[in-house]
């Protein structure tokens, strides 16, 4: 149910099934390891990408299973809360989240539309969901006259959750993203300097290393020597005969 209300279904930008499946698989492994420590024995972990996506249907899936209602395509809008969507400004878009009555009152005061606080079409979230077109139209009329900077500045002053809609360059150059250490650099032996997004997990007492993944054959000689006891000459013979691949030089990262 992604896409615009009057358009076809839209693909999610990132490979969500692959990523969610991997995350759930990791959680399953961690659970199995903890189970071994607590109760002994092993576990068989069965995680599919389809199952992972079905679980992410979350409240919309629960709503359909228990009420029969079908979620519809809402573009950037939230299906159960209004306003919660991207709005066009004069030079971009801003996501505005007035998810409860506190934020709704703040928003109405911020844009000098206090009449909307008590209007029966918008006085609470139930009314706003039922009258989504009216509410969104009233807000669009105001937001479209402002620049993104003007709107986000106003929303910040009135304590309303919001954020500009950034393109990829904007996200990766965002001050908060940089401050959180989500853009880092390492040296690659053949590619040179590589910038990347690291793991979002930050643990006390652990520093994420900035290094490349092992090159093809990078650890072959070490494994043959330390695990199998082969000498350097024996390893050289295997490499010369093409039985193994050992890089000429290996960077220390």
Contact 185, 193 (CB under 8 A): yes
- The mean pLDDT of 11-38, rounded to a whole number, is 95
Examine residue 241 and state whether it is found in any structural domain, yes or no. Answer: yes
Share of the chain above pLDDT 70, in %: 98
- Asked whether the predicted pLDDT for residue 250 surpasses 60, the reply is no
CATH number, position 160: 3.30.1540.10
Examine residue 158 and state whether it is found in any structural domain, yes or no. Answer: yes
Shared domain check, 143 and 97: yes
Examine residue 8 and state whether it is found in any structural domain, yes or no. Answer: no
**Phi, psi dihedral angles at 232 (to 5 degrees):** -60, -40
- Asked whether the predicted pLDDT for residue 253 surpasses 70, the reply is no
Average pLDDT, rounded, for the chain = 93
Examine residue 59 and state whether it is found in any structural domain, yes or no. Answer: yes
How many structural domains compose the chain?
A: 3
Quote the distance between the C-alpha of residue 34 and its chain's center.
Answer: 27
Q: How far apart are CA 174 and CA 171, in angstroms?
A: 5
Residue 235 domain boundaries: 214-253
User: E strands of 89-130, at which residues?
Assistant: 93-97
Examine residue 11 and state whether it is found in any structural domain, yes or no. Answer: no
Examine residue 23 and state whether it is found in any structural domain, yes or no. Answer: yes
pLDDT 10s digits, 30-52: 999 999 999 999 999 999 999 99
Residue-level pLDDT at 71: 86
Examine residue 253 and state whether it is found in any structural domain, yes or no. Answer: yes
């Amino acid at each position: 149910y992604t896409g615009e209300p009057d358009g076809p279904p839209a693909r999610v930008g990132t490979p969500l099934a692959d990523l969610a499946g991997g995350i759930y698989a990791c959680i399953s492994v961690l659970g199995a390891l903890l189970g071994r420590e607590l109760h002994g024995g092993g576990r068989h972990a069965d995680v599919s990408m389809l199952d992972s996506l079905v679980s992410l249907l979350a409240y919309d899936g629960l709503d359909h299973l228990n009420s029969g209602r079908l979620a519809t395509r809402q573009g950037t809008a939230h299906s159960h809360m209004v306003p919660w969507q991207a709005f066009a400004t004069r030079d971009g878009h801003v996501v505005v989240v007035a998810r409860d009555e506190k934020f709704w009152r703040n928003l109405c005061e911020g844009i000098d539309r206090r009449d909307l606080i008590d209007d029966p079409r918008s006085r609470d979230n139930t009314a706003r969901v039922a009258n989504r077109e009216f509410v969104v139209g009233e807000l669009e009329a105001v937001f479209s006259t402002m620049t993104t900077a003007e709107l986000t500045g106003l929303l910040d002053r009135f304590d309303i959750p919001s954020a500009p809609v950034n393109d990829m360059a904007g996200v990766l150059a965002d001050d908060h993203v940089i401050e959180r250490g989500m853009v880092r650099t390492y040296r690659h032996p053949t590619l040179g300097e590589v910038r990347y997004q690291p793991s979002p997990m930050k643990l006390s007492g652990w520093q994420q290393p900035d290094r490349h993944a092992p090159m093809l054959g990078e650890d072959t000689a070490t494994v043959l020597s330390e695990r199998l006891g082969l000498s350097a000459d024996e390893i050289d013979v295997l490499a010369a005969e093409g039985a193994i691949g050992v890089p000429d030089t290996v960077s220390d990262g």
